[in-house]
Structure 1
């Protein structure tokens, strides 16, 4: 398995990067990527139908770690193609609303299967033998992505769900960057007054703080986007965030619970210092 899969997925990733560099148009790019993935999926499934795993651990590794590399991209680019085909062509304002609506759907994604979502985010493995081993008696939830989930010999009960979570994470970043690109093209740059305050914590701690304030709707009644808040924090505390804020937030979401490690530490430190004043 290791020899075949190493060569297969290495070639796959290289070819995807070539396609992405060959065209910057998102619709053309998505179509080319999907065409290529369809070919590679059929190739992978042909091998999988004949292959016998040496152990349960090998089978879990394949469906939990390897297969999702290709199926998550199929789901991702299928969604990108659908979003871009429906995107308004003229109005920047309507484009932003279109992407924001798609982004809101992404944010609601975690509510679909909370138990498995929490299982994955916490880095758990105690149910891997149930989720990532093929079993003809298990119910496999089919979706419109028939190519991925059409044969119980080729999928488990949860590998598509896992691929969907990963695709959703990347789609969030894609949409947030699209929105900010449009907003930045509309904004007039103003001279920046350098702040006297410099953030000396880590970037990911800053991101944790920003997202907590964003979800709490602490700025402009909740009508301010993440990127705008991040830009204000960048100016106020001399820290460069840019689009890395989305990648940092993905890292936060992938933490084992509790997610708000920095915020929990702030709360504990505040309580300790207040209590010390009364001792």
Structure 2
């Protein structure tokens, strides 16, 4: 979600990371480039906040509940992912799959260990925002999440926990990709209740247009789902890889000879035709008379 004061630095950082890491396969080099990109984004956001600090409690809550966590989450994600990749077994495919299963359990267990706070995050609750997302607010001990002390300039304890939730949800998707081989197309088919396999067979750019349409119109979780959540959901639902979706969306934005929303336009026209055809006048045909 964009904000008139601070924009959407989390999404901007995701796009920068996509560009910086494109084609880089070495694990350590990817981490180095990622951390450098993240540090730059944190510095820019800190300077923006110093230039225009939040003027109201609502602005302060938005900054520490949404803006800073969206940036810090990428630092958490890349540190965790580096550790996972560095420790994965080499060679044996079964051992590798078992390893990623354990990592999947690890990410799920982290959410389960914070049931109240995770539900607060997932439901987009606001009742305790004045305690959770205003620095130096006096919080009852029972409501304080168990996280390390954080830099007051970049967030609150709950804000840091939100960053970890964002990061671990994305990690969950990455682990599933590693287990199911999204890059090679070796995915588990998705079946309907009738037992029919459902797999996206159209251009994946079309599905990316749909993803951004869902995101920008805030159709899921009252607008609380980020674009990565929606992309991961569509990938799992249709058994398709949408990797490098930020770069591919940048290509969509640069279209010159066709509409930037070509597929969404086609969908709209197809639905209009369906409606028009269904409403078209159909003269009644008389049944042939039965001969006496």
Is the CA contact 1:140–1:157 (under 8 Å) kept in the aligned structure 2? yes
Q: Is there any run of 5+ residues in structure 2 with no aligned partner, and where?
A: 202-229, 238-292
Is residue 121 of structure 1 aligned with residue 107 of structure 2? no
Distance 1:234 1:24 in 2: 40
**CA separation of 1:168/1:63 partners in 2, compared to 1, >3 Å: closer, same or farther?**
same
How far has the Cα of 1:96 moved from its partner? Answer: 1.0
Q: Is the 8 A contact 2:147 2:161 kept in 1?
A: no
For the residues of structure 1 that align with 2:124 and 2:166, how far apart are their CA atoms?
13
> Are 1:175 and 2:145 matched, yes or no?
no
User: In the alignment, what sits opposite 1:192?
Assistant: none
Q: After the TM superposition, which residues 166-245 of structure 1 pair with which residues of structure 2 at under 5 Å, given as runs?
A: 166-181=166-181, 228=188, 230-231=189-190, 236-240=195-199
How many correspondences in the alignment? 205
Residue in 2 aligned with 1:247?
Answer: 233
Of 160-169 and 85-94, more deviation after overlay is shown by 85-94
Residue in structure 1 matched with residue 212 of structure 2 by the alignment: none
Find the aligned partners of 1:11 and 1:119 in 2 and give their Cα distance.
25
Name the CA distance, whole Å, in 2 between partners of 1:80 and 1:174.
9
Structure 1-normalised TM-score? 0.61
Flag the structure with larger Rg.
2
Aligned to 2:33: 32
Q: Distance in 1 between matches of 2:182 and 2:236?
A: 22
Is 2:60 the partner of 1:101? no
Aligned to 2:85: 84
Change (3 A) 1:154 1:68: closer
Relative to 1, partners in 2 of residues 1:90 and 1:164: Cα closer, same or farther, differing over 3 Å? same
For residues 55-87 of structure 1, give each alpha carbon's deviation from its aligned partner in whole angstroms, at most 9, with x where no partner exists: 011111111121122111111111100000101
Superposed CA RMSD in Å reads 3.7
The alpha-carbon deviation at position 159 of structure 1 amounts to: 0.3
CA contact (8 A) 1:134 1:155 kept: yes
Distance 1:178 1:158 in 2: 30
> 1:232 and 1:83, CA in 2 relative to 1: closer, same or farther beyond 3 A?
same
1:48 and 1:110, CA in 2 relative to 1: closer, same or farther beyond 3 A? same
Gaps of 5+ in 1: 144-148, 188-226, 252-279
**3-state SS of the aligned residue for 2:198?**
coil
SS at 2:134 equivalent: coil
1:28 deviation in Å?
3.1
Alpha-carbon separation, structure 2, partners of 1:130 and 1:114: 18
Checking the alignment, whether the CA contact within 8 Å between 2:131 and 2:138 is kept in structure 1 is: no
Shift, 1:20, TM fit: 2.7
Q: Retained in 2: the 8 A contact 1:96–1:182?
A: no
SS in 1 for 2:70: helix
Is contact 2:111–2:118 with CA below 8 Å preserved after alignment? yes
Structure 1 residue 5: deviation in Å?
2.8
User: 1-side partners of 2:197 and 2:236: how far apart?
Assistant: 23
CA distance in 1: counterparts of 2:83 and 2:193, whole angstroms: 34
Distance 2:137 2:169 in 1: 30
Q: Distance in 2 between matches of 1:16 and 1:183?
A: 19
Hey, what's the Cα distance between the residues in 1 that align with 2:15 and 2:120?
31
User: Could you say which residue in structure 1 is the equivalent of 2:163?
Assistant: 163
